[in-house]
Structure 1
Amino acid sequence: MRALSVESMVESGASVIRAEAAALTLLAEKLDHRFAEAVELLVQTPGRVVLAGMGKSGHIARKIAATLSATGSAAYFLHPGEASHGDLGMLREGDLLLLLSNSGQTAEIAAVLSHAERLKVPAIAITAGAESMVARRSTVTLLLPPCSEACPEGIAPTTSTTMMLALGDALAVSAMRKRGISRTQLAHWHPGGRIGWGMQTIKAFIGESEPLPLVRADASARDVVLEMTSFGKGVAGVVDAEGDLIGVITDGDLRRAFDRMLIAVAGDIMSRDPITIAKHASVDDAIARMQQNKITVLFVMETETSRRPWGLLHIHDLRLNV
């Protein structure tokens, strides 16, 4: 084992990142009409996208399959080594084949390509081998620019697999945009974890609406304090005769009106035109609105145009426990 200083190790790591970043920049500059053709194939495919690759390329292919599925292109991974032992039956007419091979000469992929040709399944190749077997036999070839691996011996796939991964993300996101995948669709596909938590609607997050801390404009300051205290949210809404929200009163509003507490009414203390949000907005939308307006509580309305309060959301309600 070599003795390396902290500075040497940091510089070694940084040099790898710089090399791969430079390769990604070059890859972006080299994209051409073939990339657009590949996106069209993805979007027009009636079946599923079948990804295949061996070794490190196979690991990248698995990740790209997951990203495609998460963004509107149903995809799965076919192991080329298992394909010749029965798994070729996973590939059907109407599917699209997406092959990853840095050299383009991976022997195990040949059988997959032959079966795809029998089924008239189109193939997209991601490879650095412009004249390789995979490039010649594919419908569209996306060439990786010639870049040295970040491995000091130039052997371990590093830079090449980073470019493959980025190109897979580019295909998935471009196809998603062309399909017009909505935020609602993404929420259906990501119900778990931080993504799903943030994309759920405020209505789903709160559940059933409970009684709200509301007072009329002529309510005394004492009544406002009692209403705020009973709900523990540090806020009271002020409504008119029709029940529409016309203002809010926070702890800060009460402190600022302390010298008028004995004579003031809610209409004198309240902040007018309060920031609100609709119940069908997402939790992430609510967090963003609080941050943008530097507030900690939002009255939730039936719709964006409605002034009738439906619920109440406090920043403390949004503690993430996933």
Structure 2
Amino acid sequence: MSTSFDYCAAANDVLAIELAGLTQLAQYFDSHFAQACELILNNDGKVVVMGMGKSGHIGNKIAATLASTGTSAFFVHPGEASHGDLGMIGSNDIVIAISNSGESSEILSLYPVLLRRNIKIISMTGKPESNMAKLADINLQITVPEEACPLDLAPTTSTTATLVMGDALAIALMKARGFTSEDFALSHPGGALGRKLLLKLTDIMHTGNMLPTVSKDALIRDALLEVSQKGLGMTAVVEADMTLLGIFTDGDLRRLLDQRIDIHTTTIDQVMNAKPTVANPNLLAVEGLNMMQEKSINGLMLCQDGKLVGALNMHDLLKAGVM
């Protein structure tokens, strides 16, 4: 269905209004913001974020961002807090209370209990003269010139400003703590970064009966059977005590066929690669991947003190999400 309405123009209007609101937000990164950061940084408890409606959705994200960047935090719904969830908040915790108007009745009803327990409150409001702002220990101002909603009803620019204020708080604290990518990975073990920074070769290597091995006097045909059964595209050639002597791969087989070597009478020690690339199983998986890419190989033998302990190939790294 055709229409004369300019959707793109409407979208650009939203962008312009919200950008103007964010530009104004810079003035609120002031002494109050610094005090809020110091209060959280020097506190032994957790940060508890609260907000109703759209502020609650933003608060949930702020709590998640704080938690993933080194600041212990969680979200508590104000309505649920007044019916028992307030017990989740400890005396050493800090509450971040979010409301653009600063007059959220659900949150204000909790203030007397929070103040009685000497729990520090950081409000995040668009009106510094509001009751939430006045009763809080610190108020972070998030005032915006206008909402992107033409009816001035749906929270739009104000929620964007709140989200940015929360991100600024989280990242400022992250930098102050010296939070590293390794720290981030510890709280994101299931993510791509977590896998790259935490997963080791020993976590994904093949061992025991799944480890392809033959003795040095095995015939090439026996080695091929081992390669086929174990499915790694290679087999290790080892002594009885698992000392690694060499490796034989699919690629070696193709070269042998060109040389017309009899696989039924030739032993594997005559054709194996006696100087294979090996790695320590305690290497990070991403380091093993880099090694394989640099050497242009598809498989890797893992040794400790010259003894074979495991093996893997590119498919294992792909399956583990390292690639």
TM-score of the superposition, structure 1-length normalised?
Answer: 0.70
Please list, as runs of the form range in 1=range in 2, the aligned pairs for 1:134-213 lying within 5 A after superposition. 134-144=132-142, 146=144, 148-172=146-170, 174-175=172-173, 178=177, 180=179, 183=182, 187=186, 201-205=200-204, 209-213=208-212
Aligned residues of 1:150 and 1:159 also touching (Cα < 8 A) = yes
Task: Name the CA shift for 1:255/1:111 in 2 (closer, same or farther; >3 Å).
Answer: same
Aligned residues of 2:213 and 2:235 also touching (Cα < 8 A) = yes
Q: Distance in 2 between matches of 1:29 and 1:273?
A: 61
Task: Name the CA shift for 1:209/1:13 in 2 (closer, same or farther; >3 Å).
Answer: farther
CA RMSD of aligned residues (A): 4.6
Q: For structure 2, which runs of at least 5 residues remain unmatched after alignment? A: none
Task: Name the CA shift for 1:208/1:49 in 2 (closer, same or farther; >3 Å).
Answer: farther
Aligned residues of 2:206 and 2:312 also touching (Cα < 8 A) = no
Cα offsets for 1:189-218 (capped at 9, x unmatched):
567688887755554555864452245788
Q: Distance in 1 between matches of 2:143 and 2:287?
A: 40
Match of 1:309 in 2: 308
Q: Distance in 2 between matches of 1:211 and 1:202?
A: 15
Match of 1:235 in 2: 234
Cα offsets for 1:164-199 (capped at 9, x unmatched):
334434444554561747847854x56768888775
Q: Distance in 2 between matches of 1:250 and 1:25?
A: 61
Task: Name the CA shift for 1:52/1:266 in 2 (closer, same or farther; >3 Å).
Answer: same
State, as a whole percentage, how many aligned pairs show the same letter: 38
Match of 1:118 in 2: 116
Q: Distance in 2 between matches of 1:248 and 1:15?
A: 65
**How far does residue 68 in structure 1 lie from its aligned partner after superposition?**
3.7
Aligned residues of 1:53 and 1:99 also touching (Cα < 8 A) = yes
Q: Distance in 1 between matches of 2:320 and 2:78?
A: 41
Match of 1:133 in 2: 131
Corresponding residue SS for 1:310: strand
Which of 265, 270, 275 lines up with 2:273 in the alignment? Answer: 270
Task: Name the CA shift for 1:94/1:249 in 2 (closer, same or farther; >3 Å).
Answer: same
Tell me whether 1:299 sits opposite 2:297 in the alignment: no
Q: Distance in 1 between matches of 2:37 and 2:194?
A: 27
Q: Distance in 2 between matches of 1:243 and 1:12?
A: 70
**How far does residue 262 in structure 1 lie from its aligned partner after superposition?**
1.8
Match of 2:319 in 1: 319
Q: Could you tell me which amino acid in structure 2 is paired with residue 299 of structure 1?
A: M
Match of 1:59 in 2: 57
Q: Distance in 1 between matches of 2:121 and 2:8?
A: 41
Tell me whether 1:80 sits opposite 2:82 in the alignment: no
Tell me whether 1:105 sits opposite 2:127 in the alignment: no
Corresponding residue SS for 2:124: strand
Task: Name the CA shift for 1:113/1:204 in 2 (closer, same or farther; >3 Å).
Answer: same
Task: Name the CA shift for 1:91/1:211 in 2 (closer, same or farther; >3 Å).
Answer: closer
Aligned residues of 2:68 and 2:184 also touching (Cα < 8 A) = no
Corresponding residue SS for 2:109: helix
Corresponding residue SS for 1:92: coil
Corresponding residue SS for 1:124: strand
Aligned residues of 2:278 and 2:302 also touching (Cα < 8 A) = no
Match of 2:40 in 1: 42
Task: Name the CA shift for 1:49/1:272 in 2 (closer, same or farther; >3 Å).
Answer: same
Q: Distance in 1 between matches of 2:8 and 2:255?
A: 53
* Equivalences, count: 314
Q: Distance in 1 between matches of 2:222 and 2:204?
A: 30
**How far does residue 97 in structure 1 lie from its aligned partner after superposition?**
0.7
Q: Distance in 1 between matches of 2:160 and 2:275?
A: 53
**How far does residue 94 in structure 1 lie from its aligned partner after superposition?**
0.9
Cα offsets for 1:19-46 (capped at 9, x unmatched):
6577667757964565454344334332
Q: For structure 1, which runs of at least 5 residues remain unmatched after alignment? A: none
Q: Distance in 2 between matches of 1:150 and 1:203?
A: 53
Task: Name the CA shift for 1:224/1:196 in 2 (closer, same or farther; >3 Å).
Answer: same
Task: Name the CA shift for 1:276/1:72 in 2 (closer, same or farther; >3 Å).
Answer: same
Corresponding residue SS for 1:278: coil
Aligned residues of 1:124 and 1:138 also touching (Cα < 8 A) = yes
Q: Name the larger-Rg structure.
A: 2
